[in-house]
Structure 1
Amino acid sequence: MPAPVTATRNPAIDTLRGIAISLVMLLHFHLSYSLVDSPLALLLPEDAIQAVARNGNYGVTMFFVISGYLITGTTMRRHGEPGKVDLRSFYAFRFARIMPGLVLALLIILGLGLAGQPAFMNIAKPGWPEVGFPLALLSVLTFWHNVLMQHAWYFNYAMNIYWSLSVEEMFYLLFPVLCVALRRAWALAAICLVAIVIGPLYRSHHAEDEIRFLYAYPACFDAIAFGCCAALLAERWRVGGKPALLLRLLAALLVTVTYLRGIRGNETFGFTLIAFGTAALLVVIHGEAPRRPAHRNPFLAAIRWMGRHSYELYLFHIIVLGLMRGAWPRGTLAYGDKGMAMAAFVGLSALAAWTVARFYTEPLNARLRQAFRRPEKSPLRSEA
């Protein structure tokens, strides 16, 4: 049976998340076992396969927009205005959601790296400095792994994808402080507009350095800012009826066309267009009441499931793929085996995500939030 629709769970947003994590997973599988040299080439030309499989970093941009939208919208609903944000509860709740799964993933990567599994080891590239596990783990846990990569390039296959968590967590650290300091929604929107302008300028200046135009804070904060602006706008401007349908179609078309055009040659404004289109979709979604789908489409149900488990999929799909690379090193998987290998990759990643969420992250998240929650004052104490 489909999960019940609740006020805190919007199926449309889960669909966007599911699409985003699917694009990320497709990219990582393609980089390990080229889909150009697979039975998929019997159905699609090489350029089409590359367009679909090579641009998964745009999926990360979609995640950034969704994060900015959800965090801003939740904060405004909970506190009414930015200046009333409770820093303690904000950081405590983010810690409860992020850290349990991240620590488990890092422990697994550390163990497999020390056991000599190549995909989990720190391997210095020629001309780049070596990085030990203590520094690598510290950079992930304190949210500057993307900065470390600027100085050490790609040094740990499994761990390096956590650069995007460093971007998101830096946003989580800064956002409530900005809310308290600025106190007004218009001032917060003004800061977001500055980030939106800086993003393409920074990417243009570093278009030849993928570590910077893909992973640096200034290159990514504009996507989060688009999400924040979408949440602020959606509270003041509700769109419905035919205008909503038209906006949804135009935004989806913009995202699709930009994605298929690719990142190469579009380093400056490609991410801007993906972020703008995703933000427009979120504005439309905001004006619609969450509802259970009228009919159950198995494919869309699977995408929504992936959206609900996107964080655990993000953390653990790379561990599954790293273990596969240990058994079948990059470039050694037979042409006819790639379809089954990809199905196994998706299935095992989903199983790992479900298991971790069901028995570890969700229970621990609930317990930590309950422990962090401020105790209610009793009537006697409040009168004292």
Structure 2
Amino acid sequence: MKITGYRTLTAHHDWGRAIGDANGHVPHAITTVPLVIVETDEGVEGVGIGSHADLDRLFPAIVGQDPRSVSYLFDRMLAQVFKSSHAGATYGGVATFDAALWDIKAKLAGEPLWRLLGGGDRFVPAYASGLDIALTDDELARFYGAFAERGYVAGKLKGGLDIDADIRRLGIIRDVLAGNTTRPGLMLDANESWQVKQAVRYVCAIEEAHDLLWVEEPLRRWDGAGHARLSDGIRAAVATGENLTGVEQFRPLFDAGAPDIVQAGAIWGVTHILRLAHAAAARDLPISAVGYGANPAVAHAMAAVPNHLTTEVQDLRFAVGLAVDHEFADGGIVLSDEPGSGIRVDEAAIQDAAASDGWRDPAGPHMRPARAGLRLVLDGVER
């Protein structure tokens, strides 16, 4: 069996709400969902979700190869872009091909990916995450209420700009989830918006009112020493890593004794998260996948590693033309027995939707404000 080609599609996900974080938000978000379908000479195809970055440069590393040699092909793709580096957006292209290859491998084996990877249980613990900094309090309650109806017991608030608002809004999430547990899990995601001492003061103030499970991305992603200092100054765990592209980028954090919870962005693929999980396990650290909807295949990987803690779920729906045979129930993700990663693509529906009128600007809140980390008073107002 050989890889012969690939094709790309772009689906659209209508979130039905505003999404964003401390760096900005989209009022009514409709975002693009890049899909890659890898083709073989035997007609078996694999679906990958995540990125279209550098696919043409990466494909020569895998064309003509046996798609079942997934780990080998992952390393061939890294070697293909050795001089220019695989870091950043390029890693997204590697990961999307990687997810498609794992889908093929599991389909050929006639097994769901979680079982092929060695998992023993189709249930993946998860938490709700609204990307919710721009939601009103009522909208916040409705969002987490939908997850509470499915048994979810933990939720993550986007914040970091206004202590009093975050205390109030964490209370809303706690109250909504309290029907399922007496001690709902609460997390706060600051998206790299603080300096070290800002973070200590902010989190300590939050902890006077709430018992935080973790604070996420409190500092710049590369600041291992700062994350370790912060962890020593607060009760909550420090979680970070979702934007690091390659296991080697975690070395400075590990060497500094940070983070407490290792995070991996779902968009960076199955092989990445498997390797990172084992690197974390060697240090007795738990791993958490971020952004499940951006690459649902990672949920299969989380079912197969020894140190998975919980996976982020940001919506209960997928893009138009995209069907994922997973269920949101019992406070997590329930994977299916369907061979492969459980992702099906209706190409005609995607093309029809893309041709229709009415799609809003699909840009996301990815621009870091010039004053991030430099606000004197954290009350939601810049002066």
Tell whether the structures are fold-level matches, with TM greater than 0.5: no
Structure with higher RCO (Cα < 8 A, 6+ apart): 1
Q: Normalising by the residue count of structure 1, what TM-score does the alignment of the two structures yield?
A: 0.28
Q: What is the TM-score when the length of structure 2 is the normalising length?
A: 0.28
The structure in which a higher percent of residues are strand is: 2
Greater helix fraction, Structure 1 or Structure 2 = 1
Q: Which has the larger radius of gyration?
A: 1
